[in-house]
Amino acid sequence: MTIEYRDNTASLSGFISVEDAESLMEWLRSHPDGRLDLSACSHLHTACLQVLMAASVNPATGPQEPSLAVWLRNTLSP
């Protein structure tokens, strides 16, 4: 499962592996106002997580997976 970049939205689904970290970082750089859709995401690798943290983005749509949702809320909310 991977990340789908469409217009101003990146949809993360399933398991986001370490290989996706770089592309995610590039996308966030070129789309500072980009929307993140994590609804179908079940887990993301630490490397991707820290990219989200460094970019200080709050996903527009949080993951449906409850434990990940809590984690991201704890981590990404100020």
Partner 1 sequence: MNPLLQQFIQEARDLLQDISTHLLALEDQPDSSALMTELFRQVHTLKGNSGLFDFPEMTRVLHAGEDLMDAVREGRVRYSRQLADPLLDAMDFVAMLIDRIEPGGSYDAGYAAAAEGFARNLRALLPEPTVQPEQFAETVRPDPVAIVLPALTGVPEAARMAAWRAAESGKPLFMLGYRPDDDCFYRGEDPFHQTRQVPELLWGTAVARQAWPPLAELDCYRCQVDFYLLTSASRTALQEHFRYTPEQIRLEPVEPLSLIVPTGHLNGGPVYRDFVAEALELLDAQDREGLELLIRTLLDLSSPDLWLASDLRWLLVVLETRPEEEALLRRLIEALNSLTGPDLSDLSASASLAAVAALPEALPPSGSIERGQVESVLATQLEILALPDQGAWLEGRIKSVAVTVKACLGSLGEPAAELDAALAASLTSRSAQPLRHWLHARLQGGEAPGVEPPPVQAAPVCEPVAAAQPVPGEAMPEGIRRDTEDTRPSHGRDDLQPGKILKVDQARIDRLMNLIGEMVVAKNGLPYLANRAENQYGVRELAREIKAQYAVINRIAEEMQDAIMQVRMMPVSFIFKRFPRLVRDLARKLGKEVELALEGEDTEADKNIIESLADPLIHIVRNSMDHGLETPAVRQAAGKPVTGHLLIRALQESDRVLIEISDDGQGIDPALIKRKAYGKGLIDEAQLERISDQEAINLIFTPGFSTADAVTDLSGRGVGMDVVRNAIDRVGGTIELASHPGRGTTLRLSLPLSMAVTHVMIIESNRQIFGVPMDLIVETVRLPQTAIHTIKQRKTTVLRDQLIPLLALNELLAMDAAPLANADGELATLVVRVGNEPVGLVVDEFHEVVDVILKPLPGELARLGCYAGSALLGDGSVLMILNPRELL
Q: Which residues bind partner 1 (CB under 8 A)?
A: 14-15, 17-18, 21-22, 25, 28-29, 43-51, 53-56, 66-68, 70-71, 74-75
Least distance in angstroms from the C-beta of 71 to partner 1? 6
Burial 45-69 (b: 16+ CB within 10 A, else e): bebbbebbeebebebeebbebeebb
Residue 50 C-beta: closest distance to partner 1, Å: 5
**How near is the Cβ of 39 to partner 1 at its closest, in Å?**
18
